[in-house]
Structure 1
Amino acid sequence: MTTLTPVLTRFWDEPQSWTLETYLRYDGYQALGTAFETEPADLVEQVKSSGLRGRGGAGFPTGLKWSFLPKPDGGPRYLVVNADESEPGTCKDIPLMMAAPHLLVEGAIITSFAIGCNHAFIYLRGEVVHVYRRLMNAVQEAYDAGHLGKNIHGTGFDLDVTVHAGAGAYECGEETALLDSLEGRRGQPRLKPPFPAVEGLYARPTVVNNVESIASVPSIVGNGADWFAGMGTEKSQGFGIFSLSGHVTRPGQYEAPLGITLRELVDMAGGIREGHQLKFWTPGGSSTPIFTDEHWDVPLDFESVAAAGSMLGTRALQIFDETVSVVHAVARWTDFYAHESCGKCTPCREGTFWLKQIMTRLEEGQGTQDDVDKLLDICDNILGRAFCALGDGATSPVTSAIQYFREEFELGMHTPWWEAYPPERSALFPVANKETVSA
């Protein structure tokens, strides 16, 4: 499996890929016409049979999630697109919205029609102001073209789309924290049940889906469920965007069928940077257990990655070669989770704080004999006991790194990371020497 499948990314290289004019040249909004000629229940079944699974990390079947909505009772129901992408290493939704926002808008219209929603929301991470402006412009273009508003194309279907900029909390990537934030409250997770499908936004039935999940809907409706299901593996069907970053020759977004391997992707990316070799990598972002060079050929689908001891997550492949200190890398991720913990539950609030203290000691070569086991004990007390998945995600890099590189953690009892792994060796761009600077 060495062939890319440019569907979401096929016109990203166009000079003005984000405009409605460009999108129409690539069959934009044709799937919308097909959807309006289809019964909403049949659209749900079509997405079900395509095998599309949530592209935000959990991998829950998208069509099945739509079908969980209760029968209409005359009140409103909502679609909320989770565009709060913010995990270290994860970088697929932002470029997708930047390069092809109309894919998301058309997907949101089709999804809303399928579930009986008349008001959809796109919850975007607030720091990405450039993407916010581009999304707002795309939504306005869709209104001007008659794809949004009242009685869309004479179908009798009404839909408004609101683009909402969050305040920059990683925790709002959790769907119920996102809903609380969207309602104007502090972004903290809710107790489940009730699930959003029953009581979501404003206590009404709500579907919450990732950007890539919704953006995949037009191609499924336009080409058919069998077309989509014909790619990928038996249980992980379709294609996805794999984000390669770090020590590869050509980092970037690679859209390929699920089930492709890291070896195949890295080969297409020009290999590990010259003169170096793979040491460790993340299959799905910083919250997934790390893999090593022994996992080159693990198929990147939900089942295979889980069987190998990690999670496919958001397919954020961070690649690290032998010049990188595992302790330093994990410590940076731990700092992030300690900072982003919302503080609602004790295991995560206190646990990430203490993980950070110990990781900092080990980084600086001031660790104690008990620190490594203490890290594992703290992780054990967080895992499965936190209110949401943030706590579990914070433990994953720590426990997996100790599993594969315990000797490096023990080295932190007497040697700072910068002595064992000088940072200039891992730098992607060489630091200019004094002669160059003075010249």
Structure 2
Amino acid sequence: MSDHIAAIDAIAAKYDNDPTRLLDMLLAVQEQERYVSDAATRLLAQKLGLSWGDIQQTVSFYHLLSQEPRGKYTVYLNNGPVSIMQGYEGVATAFSEAVGCSFGSVTADGRIGLFTTADMGMGDQEVAALINNVVFTNLTPEKARILVKAMQKGVPAQDMVTDNTEYGKYGDGNNSLPSIHSMVCNNLIKPGPVCFGPYQAGAALRKCVAQSPEQVLAEVKASKLRGRGGAGFPTGMKWELCAKAEGPERCVVANADEGEPGTFKDRVLLTERAQLLFEGMAVCAYAIKATTGALYLRGEYAYLKDYLEQVLEQMRSDNLLGKDIAGKPGFDFLISGCSWVLAPMSAARNQLLESAEGRRGEPRNRPPFPAQSGFHTMPTVIDNVETLAATVQIIDKGATWFRSLGTEESTGTKVLSISGDCDRPGVYEVEFGITLGELLTLAGARDPQAAQVGGPSGRCLNAAARDTAISFEDCPSAGAILIIGAQHDLLTIIDNFMAFFTEESCGSCVPCRTGTWMLRNTLRRIMHGQGTREDLTSMRQLSAVMQKTTKCGLGHTAANPILNTLDNFPHLYDALIPEQTDIRSFDLEAAVQASNLTVGRASVAKEEQV
């Protein structure tokens, strides 16, 4: 017991006994013990001055944290839509048969646990899995069996990925660096002039310090850059609001939690253009006079953490971060390492702040907005990785150059993650204004019946939408485009999206907590041939209520997969609803059996019923 106490004390001390670093501590505990025990929870509560309930509610919120042992080897297999399209069922069966237990359980000897996760940011190389935070991609049933044999032999997960083994080999670019050593591939199919164009480290910062903060801010505003995370809010306006907010200190937070299924562009930016991102944070810091920065990194990208820390250290050595940056007295900006998180959809700005401060990723009430009171109550700019990277090129090459790319209202380029039924899945940096049809041709789409633009919360478009432009004026996208071929049942993909939303709802507001389940259950009833025309109407009505009354972006957009397919693919629903039926079929006996099972009551034989 004394060793256990000492281990928990050491973990807390590593993070200065700071309650706002609770998530980092919990992750360290789980990595060490393979779960977060009640004893560890109570020790941390005493050490940090928190209640047991404070820590318990945080542990229970994040899907990669567990209060029960999850095995010496914890396997998380992605069951998102692209994974399903690429052979998830066969890989899952191979894992389960080779391990000897079903998903959601651990072997009797405690060696291997099998679990699923909604997305890993690996949509271009599915089927993918995490084993003790090590990423494995392009899995097949045979590869799954090979990995199980390695785990049964006791091979450490990281040792299963080397320069060239039967388990896998290093990926391209920086993925092969000693600080990463990952089998992940970049799949950068089409580099563009902004995020993946020519870049001279420090050039933008040197131009910044030769100007006033107000001039830098004016240049960003003149570029007409809009946020690349999906909402499209003018970046210069956001920075200006933060710069004018009252407060002794300001903060810059880079949101690297691209959690919606099908999105993986930030993974490549973090791998190949990390310095561009961090320099963008410093540009923002100069413009708004911030002194503190933080990177909010999704848990599935933890394999990049050591590499990102090395990039930060090198930039401090090169006087591009730290004190008197680029030789400018008083320009001090410190990015305090990489806090990594666990909940795929917690990256809406207010949820992000709650999570970054060590709590459940639930939405804050607004106002105040982050620009007024954000990270640790400081006025805070929260920008997407791609947005911050673009600001470096704007300062270096000028707003006029940036506006020459894209369209009048959507200036610059957009980095897209394209996956699904296509010959060339990967990352594409294209100018805004490119049409969906042009993108499908670039990616080598195979007989597409639909394209999901912007992830599950975006738009599901049919073949008639090939001339739709990717732009804020026409069809915006946070970055994901999923191509769904004619061979797939589209409503099965939509059901997967709805399962994602039901799982990721934080539960803090009723319309989202119950509405997502009601929509999914109604969809499934229709898919099973038990739906009515009334169901189609009720789904639209419920969707309207959710859009108007939920607290955050997830709830506002959770009904989009249903609404989009009702509008653009009505024939799929028509084919499943029996003609001349306005009364929903009801199986009384099945309902009674389900009720008995739920409450643990024995069924009564018909002859015994009174």
TM-score range, shorter chain: 0.7 to 0.9
The aligned counterpart of 1:299 is 469
The DSSP-based 3-state class of the residue aligned with 1:69 is helix
Query: In the TM superposition, what whole-angstrom CA distance separates every residue of 1:271-297 from its partner, at most 9, and x where no partner exists?
Result: 322xxx221112222101211111101
The aligned counterpart of 1:283 is 453
The aligned counterpart of 1:101 is 274
Using structure 1 for the length normalisation, give the TM-score: 0.84
Aligned residue pairs total 388
**Which deviates more, 257-266 or 219-228?**
257-266
Contact between 2:308 and 2:338, CA under 8 Å: does it hold in 1? no
CA distance in 1, matches of 2:396, 2:251: 24
The aligned counterpart of 2:69 is none
Report the CA distance between 1:71 and its aligned residue: 3.5
Report the CA distance between 1:141 and its aligned residue: 1.5
The aligned counterpart of 2:195 is 8
The aligned counterpart of 2:83 is none
2:202 paired with 1:29:
yes
2:300 paired with 1:130:
no
**Which deviates more, 362-371 or 153-162?**
362-371
2:254 paired with 1:81:
yes
2:241 paired with 1:68:
yes
Report the CA distance between 1:338 and its aligned residue: 0.5
2:539 paired with 1:352:
no
Alignment partner of 1:39 out of 212, 222, 229:
212
CA distance in 2, matches of 1:231, 1:154: 32
Report the CA distance between 1:4 and its aligned residue: 6.7
Larger relative contact order, structure 1 or 2 (CA cutoff 8 Å, min sep 6): 1
1:163 is aligned with what amino acid?
Answer: G
Alignment partner of 1:229 out of 392, 399, 403:
403
Report the CA distance between 1:343 and its aligned residue: 0.6
CA distance in 2, matches of 1:228, 1:320: 33
**Which deviates more, 204-213 or 375-384?**
375-384
CA distance in 2, matches of 1:297, 1:115: 40
Contact between 1:361 and 1:412, CA under 8 Å: does it hold in 2? no
2:545 is aligned with what amino acid?
Answer: N
Alignment partner of 2:547 out of 383, 386, 390:
383
Query: In the TM superposition, what whole-angstrom CA distance separates every residue of 1:171-209 from its partner, at most 9, and x where no partner exists?
Result: 421101111111222211111111111111122211111
Query: 1:360–1:74: structure 2 CA closer, same or farther, 3 Å change rule?
Result: closer
2:422 is aligned with what amino acid?
Answer: V
Report the CA distance between 1:367 and its aligned residue: 3.9
The DSSP-based 3-state class of the residue aligned with 1:127 is helix
1:300 is aligned with what amino acid?
Answer: I
Query: In the TM superposition, what whole-angstrom CA distance separates every residue of 1:74-124 from its partner, at most 9, and x where no partner exists?
Result: 611111111111101222112111121111011111111111011111111
Using structure 2 for the length normalisation, give the TM-score: 0.61
Report the CA distance between 1:391 and its aligned residue: 1.1
CA distance in 1, matches of 2:244, 2:191: 40
1:405 is aligned with what amino acid?
Answer: F
2:283 paired with 1:110:
yes
**Which 5+ residue runs of structure 1 have no aligned equivalent?**
12-25, 306-311, 415-439
The aligned counterpart of 1:434 is none
CA distance in 2, matches of 1:90, 1:153: 35
**Which deviates more, 117-126 or 131-140?**
131-140
The aligned counterpart of 1:242 is 416
The DSSP-based 3-state class of the residue aligned with 2:381 is strand
CA distance in 1, matches of 2:288, 2:546: 37
CA distance in 2, matches of 1:144, 1:4: 29
Contact between 2:351 and 2:362, CA under 8 Å: does it hold in 1? yes
The DSSP-based 3-state class of the residue aligned with 1:298 is coil
Share of identical aligned residues, percent?
36
2:320 paired with 1:150:
no
The DSSP-based 3-state class of the residue aligned with 1:233 is coil
2:194 is aligned with what amino acid?
Answer: V
Query: 1:107–1:374: structure 2 CA closer, same or farther, 3 Å change rule?
Result: same
2:300 is aligned with what amino acid?
Answer: E
The aligned counterpart of 1:186 is 360
2:502 paired with 1:338:
yes
Contact between 2:416 and 2:481, CA under 8 Å: does it hold in 1? yes
RMSD of aligned C-alpha atoms?
Answer: 1.9
2:409 is aligned with what amino acid?
Answer: K
Query: 1:347–1:153: structure 2 CA closer, same or farther, 3 Å change rule?
Result: same
CA distance in 2, matches of 1:179, 1:6: 32
Contact between 2:246 and 2:372, CA under 8 Å: does it hold in 1? no
Alignment partner of 2:562 out of 398, 421, 435:
398
1:268 is aligned with what amino acid?
Answer: L
Query: In the TM superposition, what whole-angstrom CA distance separates every residue of 1:292-348 from its partner, at most 9, and x where no partner exists?
Result: 11110112111122xxxxxx1313111112112121011000000100001111100
Alignment partner of 1:121 out of 263, 285, 294:
294
CA distance in 2, matches of 1:163, 1:399: 41
Alignment partner of 1:324 out of 467, 488, 512:
488
Listed as ranges, the matches of 1:136-215 within 5 Å are 136-156=309-329, 157-215=331-389
Contact between 1:386 and 1:392, CA under 8 Å: does it hold in 2? yes
2:405 paired with 1:218:
no
2:428 paired with 1:266:
no
**Which deviates more, 385-394 or 124-133?**
124-133
**Which 5+ residue runs of structure 2 have no aligned equivalent?**
1-189, 579-610
2:544 paired with 1:374:
no
Report the CA distance between 1:409 and its aligned residue: 2.5
Query: 1:254–1:74: structure 2 CA closer, same or farther, 3 Å change rule?
Result: closer
